[in-house]
Amino acid sequence: IIDLTELLGPLVLPGNETSVVEVGKISLTGENGLWGKGLILQDTYSPRTICASITVLEKNAEKNAEAKFHGPIAGSIWFRWLGGNAGDSTTDTVIYTNLHHTAKQKLSSVDFTEHHWKIYVTDIFGIGRGKDDCTVLQSVFDPDDSGSGKSIGDVDSRLGKIRVAVDTRKKQKTAYRDPVISLLPADLLGSHRNLYVVIFHPTHTDSVLACAKIKNRKFSLA
């Protein structure tokens, strides 16, 4: 959380003037960057609160993709990129997760389960047996030949296990920042491969519990 009131003082409204203030401790990207965060304005004299997303003005500077699960895990994993094309000087990646179990018999003693999760790749000829058929997935996405546990697809090695809510009323929404995954947009837009998010069983770590294809999504600002 970045408290702009402490850095710049309170924002005075109304006002038609435009002001520019340079703050050395704030950057656009990175762990403490503004991009991907939300801006919250709180009225000093009332409980009113206004919020907005911080984005960029350049067209096509941002890209989005979704891996949507239906069972036995349901929900979505969203990928949001800034840049990601060859030659881009500024890049950043945020991953949002919101998943829950669909099984009727649920563990009542815990609020969530934790799972290893990775990005797998298959060529276009491997999808004929079903778009979300986990059995066709054999290779972790590793375009740089970094090796086991070090590839772009080894998301859990960098970010830790993913949380899946047991009770939908107790959601486990999580946001991650992962600059290593900035190469994904180019692969998503190509037609020669398909990428999947694979979630493994919490105790039988070699067993695939669910998978979902990562699909390019267009977004609109409201």
Mean pLDDT of 200-212: 90
**Which two three-digit tokens encode residue 99?**
């998943």
pLDDT at 39: 87
- Closest C-alpha to 179, from 115, 98, 88: 88
29, 92 in Cβ contact below 8 A?
Answer: yes
Average pLDDT of the chain to the nearest whole number: 82
Task: Give CA–CA dist 75/80, Å, rounded.
Answer: 16
pLDDT tens profile 84-131: 565 565 678 889 999 999 886 666 678 899 999 999 988 655 555 445
Task: Give CA–CA dist 158/179, Å, rounded.
Answer: 10
Domain 62-216 fold: Immunoglobulin-like (2.60.40)
Say how many residues make up the chain.
222
Of the two residues 186 and 64, the one the predictor is more confident about is 64
Q: Which residue has the tokens 């979902």?
A: 212
pLDDT tens profile 133-156: 787 788 999 888 899 889 999 999
- What residue ranges in 21-116 does DSSP mark as E strands? 38-42, 49-53, 62-70, 73-82, 92-101, 112-115
219, 62 in Cβ contact below 8 A?
Answer: yes
Dihedral over alpha carbons 102, 216, 157, 142 (to 10 degrees): 130
Question: How crowded is the C-beta side of 134, counted as CA atoms within 13 Å?
Answer: 16
Task: Give CA–CA dist 77/124, Å, rounded.
Answer: 22
Mean pLDDT of 188-201: 82
pLDDT at 45: 84
Tell me the H-state helices in the chain. 4-8, 155-159, 184-189
**Domains of the chain by residue range:** 1-55, 62-216
Give whichever of 14-23, 112-121, 123-132, 183-192 has the largest mean pLDDT: 112-121
pLDDT at 117: 96
Q: Which residue has the tokens 């891996």?
A: 67
99, 73 in Cβ contact below 8 A?
Answer: yes
Q: pLDDT band at 179, cuts 50/70/90?
A: confident
